[in-house]
Homo-oligomer: A and B are copies of this chain.
Amino acid sequence: MQRLRVAPPSRAYDVLVGRGALDELGAAVAALGTSGQVVVCSDGHVAPLYLERVGAGLRAAGFEISHIVIPPGEGQKTLARVEEAYGVLYERGIGRGDTVVALGGGVVGDLFGYVAATYQRGLRLVQAPTTLLAQVDAGVGGKTGVDFRAGKNHVGAFYQPWLVVVDPDVLRTLPVRELRSGAAEVVKYGLMAGGRLLDEVEAAAQNGALDAERFDEALIAGCLEEKIAVVEDDEREETGNRAVLNLGHTVGHAVEAAGGFSRFTHGEAVALGLRAALRLSVELCGLPQSEADRGAALLDALGLPAHAAGLDPEEVAGLIRRDKKAGPEGVAYVLLEGLGRPRTGLRVPSDLEREVVAWLTSE
């Protein structure tokens, strides 16, 4: 079991990474000095698989537990669900010293993380991510939130958890498409970090260590170390340094939205965004073509999509311009000067942006 430390300004906490970590959750929460109630929050996919196990560990550690289970899907990330959860917490008399465990993928973590961030100005929060995407990325770093109108995560808070528990064993029950989708974020960290992490991701893609049955937990820890360094440096996206995590996400978010959040998973959209970023990096940042090809080959090896055929390029370009992170001077891209050498805050000429979007959306 690995224990990684995250120490951003607002609160320091541990990330437990390892097979069987879910069975340690109860004891780990008790070790925080927490007493009182624990509300385990999950969704209709994950709860039948893991809720009982997590609950048993918490009960064994002496906690009074209850749960909230929502239907699965991004469509649940609404203010209405947040308010419903407040109502449940209110009726159960949950207070500041009590704990919310978010057991599930990104939707569960974002939604119940936000509930924990805002109920009574902050309950104790434990993230127990169960998708690869959430394990390598969303579960750590304190971003919580829900969608508002067409705005993904348009309402939210930066709120660090008290503890994160990452158990790669649960990836066995993840649908293949979800696992592949998470692999896109793993590739992102590989491209950002370069060096050994990128080598390891490539090796894993070749030798099957990215398969659910024998997923290499060191790879998850490697991605998390990258993420942790960035979060510690710029917890609230104020200095601009956290923007580096946005590699592939500027175009990715637009592709995801243009596909109605259903045609492409987040990870598939990020893979497409990474392909756009690699190409733009060659054009604008001096990324050698051979390195861009190496990145693209890794995405190919993982079976991630190469084209967002059938999307309307005008719509995608319009959505890029509406990016939440756009500053007064427009959308800022993260590109690569080399593998392992990301650069933030870059402007892309609009004709080049259109050209790359046209290429992505062609057959």
Question: A residues engaging B (CB < 8 A)?
Answer: 9-10, 35-36, 79, 83, 86-87, 90, 95-97, 117-122, 143, 145, 148-149, 151, 153-158, 236-237, 324-328
**A83 — nearest CB in chain B belongs to which residue?**
B79
The interface residues of chain B lying within 8 Å CB-to-CB of A121 are 143, 145, 153, 156-158, 236-237
The CA-CA distance from A9 to B236 in the complex, in Å, is 12
The interface residues of chain B lying within 8 Å CB-to-CB of A86 are 148, 154-155
The interface residues of chain B lying within 8 Å CB-to-CB of A145 are 121
Q: Give me the 9 closest cross-chain CB pairs, A-B, nearest first.
A: A121-B156, A9-B9, A118-B155, A35-B328, A90-B149, A86-B148, A121-B158, A118-B157, A157-B157
Q: How many copies does the complex hold?
A: 2
The CA-CA distance from A154 to B154 in the complex, in Å, is 22
Give the shortest distance, in Å, between A240 (CB) and chain B (any CB). Answer: 11
The interface residues of chain B lying within 8 Å CB-to-CB of A119 are 154-155
The CA-CA distance from A327 to B326 in the complex, in Å, is 43
**A151 — nearest CB in chain B belongs to which residue?**
B90
The CA-CA distance from A154 to B80 in the complex, in Å, is 16
The CA-CA distance from A87 to B79 in the complex, in Å, is 12
Give the shortest distance, in Å, between A171 (CB) and chain B (any CB). Answer: 28
Are B35 and A154 in contact, with the CB atoms below 8 A?
A: no
The CA-CA distance from A151 to B96 in the complex, in Å, is 13
The interface residues of chain B lying within 8 Å CB-to-CB of A83 are 79
The interface residues of chain B lying within 8 Å CB-to-CB of A236 are 10, 121-122
The interface residues of chain B lying within 8 Å CB-to-CB of A79 are 79, 83
**A156 — nearest CB in chain B belongs to which residue?**
B121
**A87 — nearest CB in chain B belongs to which residue?**
B149
Give the shortest distance, in Å, between A117 (CB) and chain B (any CB). Answer: 7
Are A157 and B117 in contact, with the CB atoms below 8 A?
A: yes
The CA-CA distance from A153 to B96 in the complex, in Å, is 13
The interface residues of chain B lying within 8 Å CB-to-CB of A118 are 118, 155-157
The interface residues of chain B lying within 8 Å CB-to-CB of A328 are 35-36, 97
The CA-CA distance from A83 to B154 in the complex, in Å, is 12
**A155 — nearest CB in chain B belongs to which residue?**
B118
**A34 — nearest CB in chain B belongs to which residue?**
B328
Q: 7 interchain pairs (CB within 8 A)?
A: A10-B10, A79-B83, A95-B326, A96-B325, A118-B157, A120-B156, A122-B158
Q: Pick the contact of A122 from B9, B90, B157 — CB < 8 Å?
A: B157
Give the shortest distance, in Å, between A151 (CB) and chain B (any CB). Answer: 7
Instruction: Check A327/B143 contact, CB under 8 A, given A10-B9, A158-B121.
Output: no
Give the shortest distance, in Å, between A62 (CB) and chain B (any CB). Answer: 12
**A93 — nearest CB in chain B belongs to which residue?**
B322
